[in-house]
């Protein structure tokens, strides 16, 4: 099994998650920091029944199939999957936790960055990061269904640069028939950038203005503490 090769600690025991470890919650899932490994986050379903139930298990299966098919453990533009775990909230999927290099805190999602600092998209460092993100997604040819700003993390690097990483929205249930055909996937990823939410940069601000009432992402204590500090110097690095 592929899981035996992953960071599959605790699969036979239950990992206890609590409110203090909550990074953020969305419409169908909650994300916690691993209580024993601060470099790992754990996704769990927000509900046992109804909308979104089973989404975390489905995502884990998708990544396991992808990694086994490609014989590839790590990706550049998406948060890397690190195995399954059982939690007090049920099934959990472990991923690399995206952390700002300059302060060791969990990185913020792009949607929140647009709210706090809309001029960010006009900066050279963001434009550079966006072009690199597009290049890496196309080169890796991983089919993604949702590149909206609430699914993208903005990691602040030690050298003052930025790195964009997709943390959700990987896979596409309706287009599985061509996910193994690299040129088709690359064309699809180009379409997302040029025709929908992300590229050119000004489209991000337009998207945020029109759609900000529709997304259900909320910061947990780990991010709320950061936001409450209003670390302006950090944001403007």
Half-sphere exposure of 35 (CA within 13 A, CB side): 13
> Stretch 29-33: mean pLDDT, rounded?
95
Q: Residue 38, SS3?
A: coil
> CA-to-CA distance for 155 and 6, rounded, in angstroms?
24
Please give the pLDDT value at position 75: 93
> Stretch 36-56: mean pLDDT, rounded?
90
pLDDT of 93-139, one tens digit each?
A: 999 999 999 889 999 999 888 888 888 888 999 989 988 998 898 88
Please give the pLDDT value at position 95: 97
The CATH number of 2-96, from 1.10.10, 3.30.420, 2.40.50, 3.30.200, is: 3.30.200
C-alpha to C-alpha distances, 169 to 4, 5, 38, 125, 151, nearest whole angstrom: 25, 24, 23, 24, 7
Higher pLDDT, 46 or 51: 46
Cβ neighbour number for residue 191 with a 10 Å cutoff:
10
Close Cβ partners of 107 (under 8 Å, ≥ 6 residues apart): 98, 99, 100, 153, 154, 155, 156, 165
* pLDDT > 50? residue 22: yes
Please give the pLDDT value at position 190: 72
* pLDDT > 80? residue 31: yes
Q: Which of 10-19, 85-94, 125-134, 138-147 reaches the highest mean pLDDT?
A: 85-94
Please give the pLDDT value at position 19: 93
Before 200, cis peptide (omega within 30)? yes
pLDDT of 165-181, one tens digit each?
A: 999 988 665 555 556 66
* pLDDT > 60? residue 227: no
Higher pLDDT, 203 or 51: 51
pLDDT-derived band at 223, boundaries 50, 70, 90: confident
Q: In this structure, what token pair is assigned to residue 219?
A: 């910061």
27: left (phi over 0), alpha (psi -120 to 50) or beta: alpha
> Percentage of the chain surpassing pLDDT 90?
38
Q: Phi, psi (5° rounding) for residue 219?
A: -70, 145
Q: Which of 32, 34, 51 is nearest to 43 (CA)?
A: 32
* pLDDT > 70? residue 229: no
pLDDT-derived band at 142, boundaries 50, 70, 90: confident
Contact in structure between 118 and 206 (CB atoms under 8 Å): no
Question: Helix axis angle, 182-195 relative to 124-140, nearest 10°?
Answer: 150
Cβ neighbour number for residue 73 with a 10 Å cutoff:
12
Task: Report domain extents, the chain.
Answer: 2-96, 108-213
> Stretch 188-200: mean pLDDT, rounded?
65
């Amino acid at each position: 099994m592929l899981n035996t090769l992953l960071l599959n600690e605790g699969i036979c025991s239950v990992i206890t998650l609590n409110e203090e470890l909550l990074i953020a919650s969305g419409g169908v899932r909650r994300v916690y920091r691993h209580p024993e490994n601060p470099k790992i986050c754990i996704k769990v379903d927000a509900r046992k029944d109804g909308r979104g139930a089973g989404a975390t298990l489905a995502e884990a299966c998708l990544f396991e199939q992808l990694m086994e098919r490609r014989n590839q453990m790590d990706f550049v533009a998406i948060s890397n999957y690190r195995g399954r775990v059982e939690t007090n909230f049920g099934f959990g999927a472990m991923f690399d936790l995206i952390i700002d290099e300059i302060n060791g805190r969990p990185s913020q999602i792009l949607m929140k960055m647009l709210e706090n600092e809309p001029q960010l998209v006009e900066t050279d460092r963001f434009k550079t990061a966006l072009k690199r993100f597009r290049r890496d997604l196309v080169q890796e040819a991983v089919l993604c269904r949702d590149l909206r700003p609430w699914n993208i993390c903005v990691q602040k690097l030690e050298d003052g640069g930025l790195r964009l990483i997709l943390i959700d929205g990987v896979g596409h249930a309706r287009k599985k028939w061509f996910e193994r055909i690299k040129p088709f996937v690359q064309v699809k990823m180009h379409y997302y950038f040029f025709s929908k939410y992300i590229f050119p940069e000004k489209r991000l601000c337009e998207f945020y203005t029109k759609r900000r009432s529709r997304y259900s992402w909320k910061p947990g204590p780990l991010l709320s503490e950061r936001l409450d500090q209003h670390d302006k110097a950090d944001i403007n690095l």
